[in-house]
Amino acid sequence: MTSRSDEATTHFTIRAVLTIRAAPAHARAIAAIDDLLAKQRIEHLFVGEVARAAWLGGLVDAGPVDVLGLMQAQQKNNVAMMANNKGFIVDRDEIARTEELDLVPLTFEEVRVHVLVASNALYAKMFAAARAAQCGERELRVPAAEDLALMLKMSEDDEAVRRLAAGAEFDRALYNAKLTSIGLGAMVV
């Protein structure tokens, strides 16, 4: 017979829930693009200001809603076509001008929405490491802190990178390995 004191203790780590606060118009745009991509079974992550708000706080109330969609280039046309039927404004001329950028530019109400096409294997690890974040009652996915820091570093937002790196969940070794793997070893923190 095993006594209670002989049993192994199991420890659980519970991560903090990431929360995204968004102004009403941006919250509606976030919900609309999340629904659109989910209905098309396109795996997606919210990047840009939405991911920044999830990790660093603040209110998403200006600028575009940026979404990274894991899809083939030919699926871009389906996104634009379905968006046109779901209340988005789709400017065909703008879509034609952004053809080579792997970008689907949309507008929902007055909010710009950019669907960025993630079409190659380089994004697979980013999607695998993504974190859940709550925006109202909706669960969204955002990049891991290290991947967001890499994006912020590329846009030269060093202050935001410092704030992310100071977080308890930030894996500095992983971030530095990512920088080194893309030839930016001189930028390690």
Q: Please give the tally of structural domains in the chain.
A: 2
> Under a CB-based contact definition with an 8 Å cutoff, are residues 75 and 37 in contact?
no
- Tell me the residue range of the domain where 186 lies: 145-189
pLDDT at 137: 93
pLDDT at 14: 56
d(CA 158, CA 54): 18
Burial annotation 133-168 (CB, 10 A radius, 16+ → b, else e): bebeeeebbbbbbbbbbbbbbeeeeeebbebbeeee
Query: Are 74 and 130 found together in one domain?
Result: yes
pTM, to two decimals: 0.87
Q: 162: which 2 tokens?
A: 């410092």
pLDDT at 9: 67
Q: 158: which 2 tokens?
A: 């060093």
d(CA 109, CA 115): 16
pLDDT digits (tens, 9 = 90+) for 24-77: 999 999 999 999 999 999 999 999 999 999 999 999 999 999 999 998 877 888
Q: 32: which 2 tokens?
A: 């609309």
Last residue within a domain, chosen from 143, 159, 174: 143
Q: Which of 83, 54, 144, 3 is nearest to 94 (CA)?
A: 83
Residue 140: helix, strand or coil by DSSP? strand
Query: Are 149 and 138 found together in one domain?
Result: no
pLDDT at 185: 74
pLDDT digits (tens, 9 = 90+) for 107-120: 999 999 999 998 77
pLDDT digits (tens, 9 = 90+) for 127-180: 999 999 999 999 999 999 999 999 999 899 999 999 999 998 899 999 999 888
